[in-house]
Structure 1
Amino acid sequence: MTTAKEDKGEEETLELVAHCLCKAHRFTAQVPRSSLPLKAAYCHCTSCRRVTGALHSTYVPWPGDAAAILASSSLRRYAYAPHLTLFSCRVCSSNMFVEKTDVNNPPGYGVQTGVLANIDIPGLINITNHVFLGDTLDGGASPWLCDANKDGSRPRLWRGARGQSQELSSTHHHWPAGLSSPSEDTDIPVRCHCGGVDLVLRQPMADFAARERSELPWFVDPVSNKSRANFDACDSCRLSSGSDVYYWTFVLLRHLAFPSPRSDGQQPHFLTHAKFPESSLALKAAVSSTADKRDPRWGTLTFYESSPDVQRYFCSRCAACVFYASDDRPEMVDLAIGLLDSGDGARAESLLAWDYGDKVGWRQDVVGGWREGFVESIEAAAERWRIERNYPKSWRRRQMEEQKVSPVPSNNASIEQSAN
C-alpha cells in the first residue's frame, strides 16, 4: 500500500493493488480515504460456486481505470451470463474482474476481493449483502460471514436477488439443523461452471469404515469416517481463486473417477475403461499429454505450477479452481468444495467434517493487514455456529486437547496440514 497526503486542503488517498498469483497482471487505483470502506456483495449462487470453486464470489466496485482491464489481451474473458463477463489470468487462473453491461448505462466493473493486496487498513471491506442463499440449501458460508464488518453492521441476507426475493434475518439461521445422513452408494459430481471439468467423487466413507483406525489417512475423522473440510487463508489460494478465505477438502485420487460412459457410445472404445490416475505425478502426466494422446474426458482441466513441486488445477475456460496437488503427497489432492454437487447443500455435511471454530489455516499470511480482523471474525463466528448447532469439536482439536492432558500419542497419522 502507498498513501499520499496531498497538498494542504486536499484529501488523503491510498493505493489499491489487485494482482494475480503469477503476477503477470497488476492493476492499481487511487481512492480517497473518505470513500472507505469498500462495499462488498457476496453471491452464494450455484453458478458462482462452480466458477470459483469457493462457496461464494465476492466483488467490490473497482475504482481504477477500466481501460487498463480491457487493454490486457492476456486476461481470459468468459461469458458468465448474458450481461456478465469474467476476467481471469490465462496463466495462473486468478479470478480478477467482472464486467456488467446494461443497455441503459455504461459498463461497470468489479474486482474480486481475494486479489486485493492485504493493506493495513482495518475494515477495508464492508459486507452489505449476501445474495442467492437459497441455492445453497444449507446456508453455505453465510453463518460465519455476518459478523465481519468492523463497524458492527450486519449484511442483509436474500434468498435470491437483492430486493427481488425474500429477505432473511441475519440474526436467525434459516437452514435445516443437524447433520445429514450420508448416502454411501451415490457418486458425487465434481463440475465447473462451463462443464469443461466433469468428474465424480466416489463415496469414500465405506472404504474408510472398513479400515483399522491406525490405517486411516490423516484427513479422515476416525469416528464419522468423513473427510476433513478446512478454512484456508493462504495468499496463494486467495489469489488463485479470488476468495479471501478458501474451503478445501482432501481426497485420495483413487476415489475420483470419470463419469460413467455415455449411453450413446460416443467415447472412443480404448478410453471407456481407462483408469483415473492414482498419483499426482500420473495425474500431471495425463493432463499435460499432447493433444493426440490426451484422454478427451479431461476436458478443459489444466494446471499452473505455483512452485516446482506444486500443481494448481483449474478449468482453462471458466477458470474455476479444481485441485491442489503436491509431489510430496502423491496419493491425494485438495479438492475445491464449491465444485461438489452433493445434494444436501453447499457444505456437503453428509460427506465432510468441518473445522468449525478451529484456527483458519495459513492465518499467518493475513497478519498485519485488513484480512487479519476478517479471519478472526470468521473463527469466532464459526465457533458460535458449531455450539449453536451442537456440532462436535473437530477431531483434530479434540486430539490436541487430549494430548495436553496426556502425552500418549494418538494412533492416527499426523494431523499435518497441506503446504500451500
Structure 2
Amino acid sequence: MSSSPVCRYTYGAPCCFHANLPSGIELEFTAPSSLEKMTAYSLPRSNTKTYFCSTCGCCIGGRNDTWTISTAVFDANRDDEGIWLYNAHMLPDSAPDGGLAAVFSEIDGQPLEIDDLDGRALPDVSLPKELQSNQNELRAECHCGGVSFTIARPSEEFTASPTSKDWLSDIDKSKWLACMDICDDCRLVTGTNVVAWMFVARDHIKPRLPKDLCIGTAKGYQSTEGVNRVFCGDCGATVFYYCDERPHIVDVSMGILRAPEGAMAENWSVWRAGRPAWPENGMRYHAGFSRALIEGMKRWGAERGHPQEFKIP
C-alpha cells in the first residue's frame, strides 16, 4: 500500500496497491482490451510510465524495466484465492498526518511493515506558494496539473439554507462531509481498493464547473445511468463523481487535495468514521483489508472527534 504524494495524485485516492512482477513477465490483455487502449503517463524525472484506461481512467500500474501492477483490478484478489499479500505501508511519512497508516497497522493480525524505500528522496510535487491552500481555499490538483481547482468553505448563505442540513455536520459547519468508499465500481474505475470523497456544493468550486464537470484535461465517463465520473485524461487521476439525483453536490476525490495537514484533510472535512460506503462490496472483495479499514476508521474517528455515522443523501 503506497500513500506517497505521487500515488495519491495519480490515482486520486488515499493510497494505491501495487505488486512487482518478476523480470521478463509481460501483461496479457484480454480482447478487446489492449495496451494500445491505455494512456501512458511519463512520471517527471523518472523512467517510469503509468498506464490507465483511456475510457474510464482505471490505472493498471506502471512500467520501468519491469511491471508494477495495480492489484485492485483483479477479482482474484478475493481472500480465498490467496493471490496477494498486503505486507507494508509504503512512505506513510510523506503525508504529515500519516494517511491510512495512522488508521490501521495490521491486517488480520499480520503487522504491516513501514517501507520508506531506504530513505530515497521523493520527487517534489509541491505547488508554487501562490497556488497552495490557505484557510479559506483548499487547492485540488492532479499529478500533471491538467486538472486544478479550489474549494471554498461553506458560505453563510449555504449554511443558512435548508440544503445544508443534509451536507454539513453540527460538529463543524465550516467543513465538508467526507467518507471512505470501498464499492466495486469505484475500485474498478480508479484501480485501488479504497477511494475517499468530500461532498462539496458545486457553486463553491472555482473555476465554475461546466455541466459535464470537465475542466482542463478532464475526461468524463458514465459508469451507470445518471452517474458520471471525471478523471484527468493526461495522468489518470480520479477527480469527480456526480449523480443526477443531487445535482448541486459534487463528490471530490480526496486523493488530489493539497491539504497541508495531510491526506485526511481534517481542517476541511468531517469524516463518517463508523462506516465506509458499500462495505458489503469491500468485504466480498477483500475482507481482511476491509475489516482493517472499517475498524481502524472507527478508532481513528473516535480519537479525532469525528462522528461514527451520518446519512449521505
What range is the shorter-chain TM-score in?
Answer: 0.7 to 0.9
Contact map agreement 1:143 1:382 (CA 8 A) in 2: no
Structure 1: 4+ residue segments shifted above 6 A: none
Aligned with residue 280 of structure 2, among 336, 340, 364: 364
Match of 2:153 in 1: 203
1:120-152: CA deviation from partner (whole Å, max 9, x where unpaired): 52764322222222221111111234222x3x2
**Structure 1 222/378 Cα, relative in aligned 2: closer, same or farther at 3 Å?**
same
Match of 1:223 in 2: 171
* RMSD (CA atoms): 2.6
Could you tell me the percent identity over the aligned residues? 24
Match of 1:332 in 2: 249
Match of 1:108 in 2: 66
Task: Tell me which amino acid in the other structure corresponds to 1:366.
Answer: G
Residue 337 of structure 1 and its aligned partner are, at CA, apart by 0.5
Task: Count how many residue pairs are aligned between Structure 1 and Structure 2.
Answer: 295
Distance 1:84 1:184 in 2: 33
Residue 165 of structure 1 and its aligned partner are, at CA, apart by 6.4
When the two structures are superposed, what TM-score results if normalisation uses the length of structure 1?
0.64
**Structure 1 390/90 Cα, relative in aligned 2: closer, same or farther at 3 Å?**
closer
Distance 1:55 1:374 in 2: 14
- Superposed, which structure 2 residues align to 1:22-33 within 5 Å? none
Contact map agreement 2:183 2:279 (CA 8 A) in 1: yes
Contact map agreement 2:229 2:242 (CA 8 A) in 1: yes
Match of 1:189 in 2: 139
Residue 207 of structure 1 and its aligned partner are, at CA, apart by 5.0
1:175-217: CA deviation from partner (whole Å, max 9, x where unpaired): xxxxxxxx98521111000000011112226555x516x5424
Question: Which structure would you say has the larger Rg?
Answer: 1
Match of 1:134 in 2: 93
| Structure 2 stretches lacking a partner, 5+ long | 122-132
**Structure 1 73/353 Cα, relative in aligned 2: closer, same or farther at 3 Å?**
same
Residue 384 of structure 1 and its aligned partner are, at CA, apart by 2.3
Contact map agreement 2:104 2:293 (CA 8 A) in 1: yes
Match of 2:126 in 1: none
Task: Tell me which amino acid in the other structure corresponds to 1:234.
Answer: C
1:11-39: CA deviation from partner (whole Å, max 9, x where unpaired): xxxxxxxxxxxxxxxxxxxxxxxxxxxxx
Residue 43 of structure 1 and its aligned partner are, at CA, apart by 1.8
Task: Tell me which amino acid in the other structure corresponds to 2:287.
Answer: E
Aligned with residue 211 of structure 2, among 261, 283, 286: 283
Residue 317 of structure 1 and its aligned partner are, at CA, apart by 0.6
The 3-state SS of whatever aligns with 1:141 is helix
Match of 2:130 in 1: none
Contact map agreement 2:16 2:193 (CA 8 A) in 1: no
Contact map agreement 2:271 2:306 (CA 8 A) in 1: no
Distance 1:83 1:224 in 2: 45
**Structure 1 67/119 Cα, relative in aligned 2: closer, same or farther at 3 Å?**
closer
Match of 2:192 in 1: 243
| Structure 1 stretches lacking a partner, 5+ long | 1-41, 101-106, 167-182, 259-275, 288-297, 397-414
Match of 1:308 in 2: 225
Aligned with residue 301 of structure 2, among 386, 392, 398: 386
Distance 1:75 1:311 in 2: 20
- Superposed, which structure 2 residues align to 1:269-280 within 5 Å? 276-277=208-209
- Superposed, which structure 2 residues align to 1:53-202 within 5 Å? 53-62=12-21, 65-66=25-26, 68=28, 72-81=35-44, 82-100=46-64, 107-117=65-75, 118-121=77-80, 124-148=83-107, 150=108, 152-158=109-115, 161-164=116-119, 185-202=135-152
1:215-238: CA deviation from partner (whole Å, max 9, x where unpaired): 424131123112211111111101
The 3-state SS of whatever aligns with 1:57 is coil
**Structure 1 217/325 Cα, relative in aligned 2: closer, same or farther at 3 Å?**
farther
Residue 71 of structure 1 and its aligned partner are, at CA, apart by 6.0
Task: Tell me which amino acid in the other structure corresponds to 2:110.
Answer: S
Match of 2:261 in 1: 344
1:344-382: CA deviation from partner (whole Å, max 9, x where unpaired): 2211101101122x122112223444x123212211122
The 3-state SS of whatever aligns with 1:127 is coil
**Structure 1 71/338 Cα, relative in aligned 2: closer, same or farther at 3 Å?**
closer
